Amino acid sequence: MPDLALKARLFAQALIKAVDPSPEDETNIYLRQYERSHIDLFNLLADCFPPIACTSVAANSVAAELIAAAVIDGPQEITLLDLGIGGGRQVRGLIRTLAERGALPSRLTIIGVDPMEQSLEQVGKGLSDFAGELRLPFEFVPVKAAAEDLTPGDWIGFRRFHGELFATATFSLHHVGRDDAGSSRKDGVLRNLKLITPSAFVLTEANGDFETDDLVARFVEAWDFYGACFDILDRMTLPPDLRAAAKLFFGRELEDILGSHSAHRCERFDTVARWRERLREAGFSPHPLLGNAPSRRITIEPDDLMTTTFQTGWMGFAHEGYTVAAVMCAR
């Protein structure tokens, strides 16, 4: 099936679902042979898809630089709160980066927040084994909850651990939904995080406006965002099955964005400007580590399909002038 036709069918199927969620067309039948779980597809993209791979490396570089600065005068204990830890690949990468820089703390506590109990169990074992290989005193604290469902007691409890507190959230907070009144619960998460005063918060997210209830506006945003994603995929050298699997990943997101009722949507991307506004309203300010010029302390993976821009408090990753994702740093 030609790429252009597949893209058109994915958008069409998503719009059809908005009217009637029951039918399945030949596009899904065609793609089912490449079926994988959504998290497996994300992990596949995280290793090879430039907007995710580049931002993930940069986010860990930013977090590592912050932690390294905290331990520069001698090893000390560090606590990292990761909101939406998933399979733990991002945190594992951060620990590896710290080890490579010779900046491991005297003790590291990871508080992993995620609604999937099985993921937390696997992450805890994997990170503990990895820390053991590095001879790093380590504790993993699993918290089975979505970030928006954390209680005041949970948030206060995060401060009971020793060491300087840092926080990260990598491609996770856009899943935070709305309350019964229709207001986003993202703001509550950010306010609660600010109340426990982390030394820094590294937020990594895609750049798009999918919170609006206007279907036409969401379609236009999706056309721009996923158009850029599809163009990147088309220019990558990938086996046909992996290319189709990647487009299945985006196809599922399109069905959620365009075909699901506003109360049930999971993919609630915000623009970088809106995320920065939310951070500001929650009491955060831009961290000086990220400024208007490239920093030698931040690792940027070279990629022919992406360009990197630096602004106060954030760095963007763009394709053909369109910012696909960003790393923000606040305190």
Each residue's pLDDT tens digit, 160-198: 998 899 999 999 999 999 988 888 999 999 999 999 999
- Model confidence at 46, pLDDT cuts 50, 70, 90, reads confident
pLDDT reported for residue 25: 47
Work out the number of other CB atoms within 10 angstroms of the CB of residue 199. 15
**CB 246 within 8 Å of CB 44:** yes
Q: Does position 38 have pLDDT exceeding 80, yes or no?
A: no
Per-residue model confidence as pLDDT tens digits over 1-18: 446 666 677 777 777 666
Q: Residue 99, Cα to own-chain centre: how many angstroms?
A: 23
Burial 237-248 (b: 16+ CB within 10 A, else e): ebeeebbbbbbb
Nearest Cα residue to 175 out of 85, 269, 314, 240: 269
Per-residue model confidence as pLDDT tens digits over 60-89: 999 999 999 999 877 699 999 999 999 999
**CB 222 within 8 Å of CB 258:** yes
